[in-house]
Amino acid sequence: MPGYRKLGRTSSQRKALLRNQVTNLLYHGKIVTTEAKAKEIRGIAEGFIAMAVREKDNFDTVTVSAKVARKDKDGKRVKEVVDGKKRDVFDTVEKSIKKDRPSRLHARRQMCAYLYGITEVPAENAGRKKNTKKVDLADKLFDEIAPKYVDRNGGYTRIVKIGPRKGDAAMTVLIELV
């Protein structure tokens, strides 16, 4: 017997399904699916959360300086004339950033290799590509999800049975982050 559920799919379809379900569980916090899929998702999602909890504080804060173009009230670059030519005006900005240590970087890359990218679309500009933004799920795991589970030893998800599905009577469940 295999050590995993086949879910009636080929291996590539099964891997894509599980990646999609785990990504959506971590992004939304809860999803509705069948019981067999939920039990498979649980192990993968809890592994990522445990990894995030372990590496949560494993970074250095570094201060960097960068040249940034000065902008006017309309968001256009400010120009000044130097030697008869128009040149952009630049300001030096100090910024502190988080620099991952090697083990946290490895964890981040493992997460990014498995989880799908999510593009957030604001409701007022639906259908427009201009105002969309990409969500970094690894950052969400480290910054939002992991701090909630620091004092918890496993058991980061809960499966609640909803009832049989109307079409095929498969048991549907709600899997959510505790």
Q: pLDDT tens across 133-150, in order?
A: 899 999 999 999 999 999
One domain, residues 138 and 53: yes
Last residue of a domain, which of 39, 69, 100? 100
pLDDT for 83: 84
d(CA 16, CA 14): 5
Report how many domains make up the chain: 2
106 located within any domain:
yes
- Residue 126's pLDDT is what? 67
Strand partners, 63: 96
Please, which pLDDT band fits residue 156 given cuts at 50, 70 and 90? very high
pLDDT recorded at residue 123: 77
Residue 88 and residue 25 share a domain:
no
Q: Is the pLDDT of residue 37 over 90?
A: yes
- pLDDT for 114 equals 97
- What's the pLDDT score for residue 102? 96
The candidate with the shortest Cα–Cα distance to 35, out of 178, 174, 176, 128, is 174
Residue 169, both tokens: 């009577």
Which residue is listed with tokens 């909630």? 148
Q: Are residues 39 and 125 in the same domain?
A: yes
Average pLDDT of the chain is 92
Highest mean pLDDT among 24-28, 81-85, 90-94, 120-124: 24-28
Residues 52 and 80 in one domain: no
Q: Which domain holds residue 84?
A: 59-100
